[in-house]
Structure 1
Amino acid sequence: MRVWKLLGLAGILAGVATGAAVARDERVRRHYDAGEIRTRLHQKHDEAVARAETSEG
């Protein structure tokens, strides 16, 4: 019975840790304003296009 209690506690702690990580990532993501997000998306797009052109030729 003790093993099940430890497994349950470990599962709860894993859930709490995952929730904390998701909340932290969400706070970081929301910190950007619209202009910064647009700039980052354009940069990622340009990099993807450059990689595609490099792999084609």
Structure 2
Amino acid sequence: MRWWKTVGLAGLVGVAATGAVIARQERRRRAYTPDEIRERLHARLATPPPAPGGEAD
């Protein structure tokens, strides 16, 4: 097998793996109901932002 065939096969495997990861993330994102999304956004807004410059003691 020539080196360019190996590189092409590795590229094809990489594209397929990337597609699988994206599909899994999309399924997770769509699994939330609108009420759950709203609750998560409200909880995120309720927490104070981190202090600029790192930790404050």
Q: Above 0.5 in TM-score?
A: yes
TM-score by length of 2: 0.78
- Alpha-carbon deviation of 1:43? 1.6
1:51 aligned residue: 49
Q: Percent identity?
A: 47
Q: Number of matched residues? A: 53
1:33 aligned residue: 33
Structure 1 residues without counterparts, runs of 5 or longer: none
SS in 2 for 1:39: helix
Provide the aligned C-alpha RMSD in A: 1.9
| Matching residue's letter, 2:37 | I
Q: Distance in 2 between matches of 1:11 and 1:46?
A: 44
Structure 2 residues without counterparts, runs of 5 or longer: none
